[in-house]
Structure 1
Amino acid sequence: MFPCSLRVLPNAAAAVSRCASRALAQTLQRLAMIVSNVSLGGCVRGDGAWCAGHAEAPSSQRTLSPVGHLVVAVCLGFIGTFGFLNNLLVLLLFCRYKVLRSPINLLLMNISLSDLLVCIVGTPFSFAASTRGRWLIGAAGCVWYGFANSLFGIVSLISLAVLSYERYCTMMGPVEADATNYRKIAMGIGLSWVYSLAWTLPPLFGWSAYGPEGPGTTCSVNWTTRNANNISYIISLFVFCLILPFIVIVYCYGKLLHAIKQVSGINSALSRKRDQRVLLMVVTMVSCYLLCWLPYGVVALVATFGQPGLVTPEVSIVPSLLAKSSTVINPVIYIFMNKQFYRCFQALLVCEASEKGSSIKSSSKAARPFRATHHNNEHNFTFMVASVGPPTAGPDASAEDRPSSCNDARPGVVSLVAHYTG
């Protein structure tokens, strides 16, 4: 029914037009109210995290341009493809060649496994979202994506810290490394997963939450909600999952460099070459750790404590890509810069099968101790450098003089033992 009654007027057509216009305006107003209520109801019923993540900024600040989404999609495609191939190759080498199955390499496999899982269960969804310019698998998928990527990322970070600590203990320990003892490494691997779960499960139970980040094509911890519950979680996550592993890595590798400098008088030519190689490795590992993870942590803190809208989608997406690029960089640094893995990779390319009698046990028994005495004005210290692996031609033998076969490759484990004699 029309809201006004039709009366006989001199201009009946004009009266009908006015009544129709009023009826149409009221109908449109009611439809707008219904749509608004339905949208709010959807946020309340199931998409609370998603709506909260998108309610704090106007639409012009929440998304990238089509060209920006295309650039992000290309970067994610590159990261996902090469991260998957690199880590899969590492696992293939580990399974194929027995000589690689040492305890320290098992820890490297844990890093590759966590990075491979990121490339399988995380990167494809963010890649697909970037190609379409929006998140595609709903609020539940957003929570799953944020949880899985946080879990595997923290496992990788903690494993890097455990790896540095294990190398420190191996080289500074009072006895030679036991290349058949997997118990300690197994405990370190279990610690990395339990520790990561301890920090990634709380958002599922109310301590902070997982939701969209940046332009809305990826999901992570909710960085923008400013209440005590969320801020306390973000600060704890930053300290215990980013700063603490970094401190462990820097301390352990710093002590190793200092120890190597102390025994540099044993053989000057060999020592200089070893010092340069170890220094390059340490600087590369620490620099890449900071490059991949520090920008992400800093931007997260700025989003939490800075002015609203200060972190734009363009700013937030770059640290996210850098963090994901660790899945590509880690295998290169920790695996392919390792001579043992590289020789096995060369053997795989030429289809060289592993010898039947080759195992880590046989290669770990032959140790070549080399002693030297360092004199001080007041005290004497005797350093023993025990290289675990097959004997070489002599203490001055370089890496190029060693066998090039993967099966004869030496495990890269060195024990530095200092004995006080004065």
Structure 2
Amino acid sequence: MIVSNVSLSGCAEVNSAVCAGAAEGRLGGGSYRTTLTPTGNLVVAVCLGFIGTFGLLNNLLVLVLFCRYKMLRSPINLLLINISISDLLVCVLGTPFSFAASTQGRWLIGAWGCVWYGFANSLFGIVSLISLAVLSFERYSTMMGPAEADSSNYRKISLGIVLSWAYSLVWTTPPLLGWSQYGPEGPGTTCSVDWKAKTTNNISYIVCLFVFCLIVPFLVIVFCYGKLLCAIRQVSGINASMSRRREQRVLFMVVIMVVCYLLCWLPYGIMALLATFGPPGLITPEASIIPSVLAKTSTVVNPVIYVFMNKQFYRCFQALLRCETPRRGSSLKSSSKVATKAMRGVAVTGARRTNDFLYMVASLGPPAATLPQLDPSCEPTIDISRAASSDKPAAVSLVAHFDG
């Protein structure tokens, strides 16, 4: 049975129509009334309309670019497409219902519609979060692994995509089977997990959901991108000025990824925990709608950060607008190694480390079949620090731009 967030015990303090709507919704036969004012509903509707429209357009554009240009069809980009598909499904199967509810001041599709909305949005949201974590791990393992990445091998990426959907199903199906439940959220214009029930059954689920679907993906992202940044710093001695620019670009991208992840999802997680463990009434319906709207902005933000800030996707986007063939960039692709042996060289100090290892710093973009022409600003440097008595050739270090 779905339990409305509007308390029947408070009917003396609220509009009788609201109470009637709550009672009707509790019986599962009608619509849930919102507790927001008409102005509040209008503001929420405008925000959801913006999020739904731009999220739909951004993610559709990503899919169009992927289908239009073969150069984008690489294993690593397949993960980006998985993120866009999950975000697109939120914009198509979720946001329109909450938008319509906000414009009308009540939930429109009944109790079963509320359960479907809560399940679907939770499923697609967690798929997106887990895909971001898988993406960071894939970049880390590809760059730091001992072997060259195979640009035609989709097996590992396909496994990661299947894992993201299976993992999400594992954590979103239990409320359908009795471990917690889906119901109205906040002012009654959206639905999600029942954050307010104080039962052991519900609290245990909320804690597991918070840890395994928010904290764990965040820690994976921070760890993997942090290790990549450290690896880039290991090779900063090859070309000081270029390494400094590359390091700043990587750091900027990592900070943007982490900050946007936290801004979109941390307020929602904190609100859920406060509603679960705090005293009744601590989280008002008006306050709870803000984290819910912020979480939905991830459908707009993800394509911008992970796709349109990627040089290769951006070049294809420009080519699409100009109806021309996209030009090849100057970056080496992700099949190249980021300091392949630099991590081993940490234990070796001084000039010997430079002598013994070939350092190659490349972008995080998709692999290319051939090595593109390099810009004048991306010049190879020759390591001539090897002693004259050595009969081995000097190591050539090729430094390329980071392709976020």
Instruction: State TM-score, norm by structure 2.
Output: 0.80
d(CA) in 1 for partners of 2:182 and 2:112? 10
The partner residue of 2:349 within 352, 363, 376 is 376
d(CA) in 2 for partners of 1:57 and 1:213? 18
1:149 alignment partner in structure 2: 121
d(CA) in 1 for partners of 2:102 and 2:301? 22
1:49 alignment partner in structure 2: 2
* In the alignment, structure 1 residue 260 sits paired with structure 2 residue 212: no
* In the alignment, structure 1 residue 223 sits paired with structure 2 residue 195: yes
Q: 1:178: Cα distance to partner? A: 1.7
Q: 1:396: Cα distance to partner? A: 4.1
2:378 alignment partner in structure 1: 397
Return the letter of the residue paired with 1:376: T
* In the alignment, structure 1 residue 180 sits paired with structure 2 residue 152: yes
d(CA) in 2 for partners of 1:258 and 1:366? 19
Q: 1:175: Cα distance to partner? A: 2.1
After superposition, residues 22-421 of structure 1 pair within 5 angstroms as: 48-51=1-4, 53-55=5-7, 58=10, 60=14, 63-352=35-324, 376-377=349-350, 380=353, 382-385=357-360, 387=362, 389=368, 390-393=371-374, 396-397=377-378
d(CA) in 2 for partners of 1:155 and 1:249? 15
d(CA) in 2 for partners of 1:367 and 1:161? 21
State how many pairs are aligned: 349
**Taking structure 1 as reference, are residues 139 and 367 closer, same or farther at Cα in structure 2, changes over 3 Å only?**
closer
- For structure 2, list consecutive stretches of 5 or more residues without a partner in the other structure: 19-33, 380-399
**Taking structure 1 as reference, are residues 352 and 131 closer, same or farther at Cα in structure 2, changes over 3 Å only?**
same
Return the letter of the residue paired with 2:6: H
SS at 2:195's partner residue? coil
Q: 1:352: Cα distance to partner? A: 1.9
- Note if contact 2:231-2:339 (Cα within 8 Å) is conserved in structure 1: no
Q: 1:104: Cα distance to partner? A: 0.4
Q: 1:382: Cα distance to partner? A: 1.7
d(CA) in 2 for partners of 1:337 and 1:366? 19
Question: Equivalent pairs: percent with the same residue?
Answer: 67
SS at 2:359's partner residue? strand
- Note if contact 2:149-2:335 (Cα within 8 Å) is conserved in structure 1: no
SS at 1:54's partner residue? coil
2:27 alignment partner in structure 1: none
Query: Considering only CA atoms, is the larger Rg found in Structure 1 or Structure 2?
Result: 1
**Taking structure 1 as reference, are residues 95 and 412 closer, same or farther at Cα in structure 2, changes over 3 Å only?**
farther
Q: 1:378: Cα distance to partner? A: 9.6
Deviations 1:188-218 (A, max 9, x none): 0000000000000010010000000000000
Q: 1:347: Cα distance to partner? A: 0.4
SS at 2:35's partner residue? coil
Tell me which moved more, 261-270 or 161-170: 261-270
Q: 1:50: Cα distance to partner? A: 3.7
d(CA) in 2 for partners of 1:298 and 1:326? 17
Q: Name the Cα RMSD after superposition.
A: 2.8
d(CA) in 2 for partners of 1:230 and 1:368? 46
Q: 1:412: Cα distance to partner? A: 6.8
- Note if contact 1:96-1:354 (Cα within 8 Å) is conserved in structure 2: no
